[in-house]
Amino acid sequence: MKRTTLILSLGVFAATACTQRPAVEADYAVVPLPAEIELASGGEAFRLSPDTRIVAADSADAANAAFLAEYIGELTGFTPSVTAIAPADGYIRVATVGGGAPESYVISACADSMVVAGSDAAGTFYGIQTLRKAIPGDAAGHDVLFAAGTVTDSPRFGYRGTHLDCARHFFSADSVKRFIDILALHNINRLHWHLTDDQGWRIEIKSRPRLTEIGSMRSATVIGVNTGVYDSIPHGGFYTQEQIRDIVDYAAARHIEVIPEIDLPGHMRAALASYPELGCTGGPYDVWQIWGVSKDVLCAGNDSVYAFLDDVMAEVTDLFPSEYIHIGGDECPKDRWKDCPKCRARIRALGLRSDAASSAEEKLQSHIMGHVTDFLAERGRRVIGWDEMLQGGATDNAVIMSWRGADGAVAAARAGHDAIIVPYKYLYFDFAQSTEPGEPAGAHWSTPVLIDSVYAYEPMPDELTAEQQKHIIGVQANLWSEFIPTYSHMEYMALPRLAALSELQWSAAPKDYAAFGGRLRRLARHYDAAGYNYAAHTIPADTIQH
Ligand code: TNX
């Protein structure tokens, strides 16, 4: 209520006190909703105009300030200059001041100036995102009035992820950068980059050139849901190591860590097509042209497979400085291992026996995952794996990504593992976003994921104790690409559901779908300004009588 009154009075101010240029009013209630917005009633607003300067004292602040200048330029048409010394008034100071929770910030506004103060460089960046989103998306040609007051904010979860599958369909390096910009707009700080799968290998590995020479190209793709009819159009592409370094840097500048996924020991058919000796039968294999779960997986009894994984991971860790490396572990049928003399011998040599909890083959999978985990641990990295990792027993330090529901996260947290919440019913954005006729299709094996159910989802399992809940380190949405062949379609699947995701990840406020709708409608003007492709019809309409 207080806010509404103030905005009305600002309106009067805008009409009476403005100079020649018309002004629009900023609104701090953005997506995701900041923890505290306190307006100074009666305080005069700060006016952002072409005369405004951005002040940054050092080079780290200047990097953040450059983003703010660019965002203001995109929205208003004028790009403020960045200076080291503050003028008497009419400036926005951007400063990382230390203290406070990680990634937190305070914005304060008064008539003379604004300050965006972060606890760390990421916090300052999120303050800038809030300031940016507070500006109406259709502010072109206008000054902007920021109500006097304070915004104090920090995130609920430290790991705020989105996954992008570039293996089933390849998206260009420029598209991936555009996607990273979208993540930044939503305060998302991890890109889980799915780079390898049965249908394509997308990361250049210099010591194993056939992975991209052969494995990055499939000669045709099945039409629809494994209909038996093929399009006879070759599909392929991969990221060179140079492109990958560039993407990692681009993301890091936006405080996003790129976590690569090399999915193993299943989902490896593109690698098997490149190096058939890595499979139990020796092939031949093709880069898969259909969807689903392939029975052909890496042979876990073959020493050269372990050497292969070491070689791949050596280059992966060289390219990606991320704290985590995702090593998959999902959907690995054991059919081939059961019949393979090398796998049988390895099971015997390791003394693996089936018991009530897991089969000998599941334990063999834990063995190969453990090998990679140890290799990565020696290089200071932690692994993330899909919740199937729990089946044969996961290594202590592994983070479990719970996709088949929240049960995997609950089991993981109880066993002392960190976990990330990604249940497909709520957070798989490759499912359609509405039930309307004509809704662009996505994955088909579950029901559509509607934005209101995403928003309403509470990610923290309440069956965990407070101590166990500390193991739930974050929340993520996944965008698989079997049925999403173009980047533009992918962007549409992501938006606006990423807005609801970002509220789960960032905000601890009680749910209020109507209020979220208002914030989302304003955010959608930013989508328009940036030219993003999004499902506008899923945004709740404004039902309040004005
Ligand atoms: C399940 S989630 C998969 C993916 C598919 C996805 C399609 C997971 C670990 N495995 O391989 O792409 O469903 O929705």
What is the per-residue pLDDT across 376-421, written as a single tens digit (0 to 9) for each?
999 999 999 999 999 888 888 899 999 999 999 999 999 999 999 9
Centroid of ligand 1 to alpha carbon of 149 (angstroms): 46
HSE (side-chain half, CA atoms, 13 Å) at 425: 9
For position 282, what pLDDT does the model report?
97
Tell me which of 27, 120, 153, 197 is the catalytic residue.
197
315 a catalytic residue: no
Centroid of ligand 1 to alpha carbon of 357 (angstroms): 24
Q: Residue 3 pLDDT more than 70?
A: no
For position 18, what pLDDT does the model report?
46
Q: Residue 11 pLDDT more than 50?
A: no
Q: pTM of the full predicted structure?
A: 0.95
Centroid of ligand 1 to alpha carbon of 428 (angstroms): 9
**φ, ψ dihedrals at 487, nearest 5°:** -65, -40
Q: Read off the pLDDT of each residue in 183-199 and give the average, rounded to a whole number.
A: 98
For position 396, what pLDDT does the model report?
80
For position 393, what pLDDT does the model report?
81
Q: Read off the pLDDT of each residue in 187-198 and give the average, rounded to a whole number.
A: 98
Q: Read off the pLDDT of each residue in 466-472 and give the average, rounded to a whole number.
A: 98
Q: Residue 86 pLDDT more than 60?
A: yes
Tens digit of each residue's pLDDT (9 = 90 or more) over 496-530: 999 999 999 999 999 999 999 999 999 999 999 99
CB 126 within 8 A of CB 32: no
HSE (side-chain half, CA atoms, 13 Å) at 349: 12
CB 218 within 8 A of CB 236: yes
Percent of the chain beyond pLDDT 70?
96
Tens digit of each residue's pLDDT (9 = 90 or more) over 54-69: 999 999 999 999 999 9
Mean pLDDT of the chain: 95
Tell me which of 169, 186, 267, 471 is the catalytic residue.
267
Q: Which region among 122-126, 211-215, 244-248, 437-441 has the lowest average model confidence (pLDDT)? A: 437-441
Residue 360: which of 375, 376, 349 has the closest Cα? 349
257 a catalytic residue: no
Tens digit of each residue's pLDDT (9 = 90 or more) over 260-273: 999 999 999 999 99
249: how many CB neighbours lie within 10 A of its CB?
A: 11
Centroid of ligand 1 to alpha carbon of 293 (angstroms): 9
Indicate which residue's Cα is closest to atom 2 of ligand 1: 403
Tell me which of 51, 331, 407, 439 is the catalytic residue.
331
197 a catalytic residue: yes
What residues line ligand 1, using a CB cutoff of 6 Å? 330-331, 386, 403, 428, 430, 443, 480, 482
Indicate which residue's Cα is closest to atom 13 of ligand 1: 480
Q: Read off the pLDDT of each residue in 339-343 and give the average, rounded to a whole number.
A: 98
Q: Distance between CA 345 and CA 351 in Å, rounded?
A: 10
